[in-house]
């Protein structure tokens, strides 16, 4: 059976999920020239932190942008079961919850079935709650649905002995500087802070404090804020609606960026 503890000689880690775990909006400095970008994100950053706590870290990231929960469970989870890593992170369901008519109770049942399969391999599992969207005017109406899903996720974690990264309670991420302009993906600094939070959850000492207050912010005036809203609607919201209406996804035709357990330097 697999397992995970800080300080063991070799750590194998697999990340499952969508664009949040793929790392969108946190490009590597050398990403120019890659057709789909080359993104880092909190999972890559977390894996790199683990290098300080093991002789060898083997890391795979199977996450693909735009994936729904069922796609993650059918396309990514079997590969994770096959790899039998020491540690698996699972953040899934967010793309489902923002769709009209999403049922958080039904989603939670599917999520638990996936967690059960992962835990049966002996892997330690980390699950993530959803963000509190109360600070985002356009997404505020989803708050109750996300809260319901979160309660289910906590129950699942309790029943199966999983770690929990509680994104809902991370108030430091309720600052516009933690987010990319599309308002759905974390900024590079947001990803960096989340990686530190995951380290805290697994007990990996690192330099830096994810909850450190942001520097004093110069407020955006009302006119500039409205212009930002219009730009966001034109550049992101309308294309997103069009994809939903035509049954397309931003991840169509894309594969995972790290499909195999590969050693990190």
Percentage of residues of the chain with pLDDT beyond 90: 71
Beta strands in the chain (DSSP E): 10-17, 56-61, 87-91, 124-128, 163-165, 258-263
Any idea where the domains of the chain sit in the sequence? 10-212+219-263
Mean pLDDT for the chain? 89
pLDDT of res. 247: 63
Beta strands 163-165 and 124-128: pairing type?
parallel
pLDDT band for 4, please (50, 70, 90 cuts).
confident
pLDDT of res. 68: 96
Q: Is the pTM of this model over 0.75?
A: yes
The pair of three-digit structure tokens given for residue 167, joined into one six-digit string: 């994104």
pLDDT of res. 264: 92
- How far is residue 256's CA from residue 258's CA, in Å, rounded to a whole number? 6
pLDDT band for 242, please (50, 70, 90 cuts).
low
Q: What is the mean pLDDT of residues 196-206?
A: 97
pLDDT of res. 1: 44
pLDDT of res. 35: 42
Between 3.40.50.1380, 3.40.50.1110, 3.40.10.10, 3.30.70.100, what CATH number should domain 10-212+219-263 receive? Answer: 3.40.50.1110
pLDDT band for 2, please (50, 70, 90 cuts).
low
- Count of helices and strands (H, E) across the chain: 10, 6
Residue 62 has pLDDT above 70, yes or no: yes
- How far is residue 114's CA from residue 72's CA, in Å, rounded to a whole number? 9
- What is the residue-wise DSSP string for 87-123? EEEEE--HHHHTSTT--HHHHHHHHHHHHHHHHHTT-
- How far is residue 216's CA from residue 213's CA, in Å, rounded to a whole number? 9
């Amino acid at each position: 059976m697999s397992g995970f503890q800080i300080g063991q000689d070799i750590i194998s880690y697999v990340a499952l999920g969508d664009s949040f775990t793929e790392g969108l909006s946190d490009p590597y400095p050398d990403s120019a020239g890659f057709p789909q970008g080359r993104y880092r994100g909190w999972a890559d950053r977390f894996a790199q932190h683990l290098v300080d706590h093991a002789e060898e870290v083997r890391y795979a990231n199977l996450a693909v942008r735009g994936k729904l929960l069922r796609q993650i469970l059918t396309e990514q989870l079997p590969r994770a079961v096959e790899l039998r890593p020491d540690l698996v992170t699972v953040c899934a369901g967010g793309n489902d919850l923002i769709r009209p008519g999403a049922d958080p109770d039904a989603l939670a049942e599917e999520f638990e079935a996936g967690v059960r399969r992962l835990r049966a391999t002996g892997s330690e599992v980390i699950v993530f709650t959803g963000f509190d969207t109360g600070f985002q005017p356009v997404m505020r109406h989803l708050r109750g649905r996300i809260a319901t899903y979160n309660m289910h996720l906590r129950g699942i974690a309790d029943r199966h002995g999983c770690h929990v990264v509680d994104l809902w309670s991370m108030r430091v991420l309720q600052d516009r500087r933690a987010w990319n302009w599309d308002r759905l993906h974390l900024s590079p600094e947001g990803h960096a802070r989340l990686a530190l939070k995951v380290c805290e959850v697994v007990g990996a000492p690192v330099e830096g404090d994810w909850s450190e207050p942001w520097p004093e912010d110069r407020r955006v005036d009302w006119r500039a804020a409205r212009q930002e809203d219009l730009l966001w609607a034109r550049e992101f919201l309308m294309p997103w609606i069009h994809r939903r209406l035509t049954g397309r996804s931003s991840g169509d035709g894309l594969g995972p960026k790290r499909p195999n357990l590969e050693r990190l330097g």
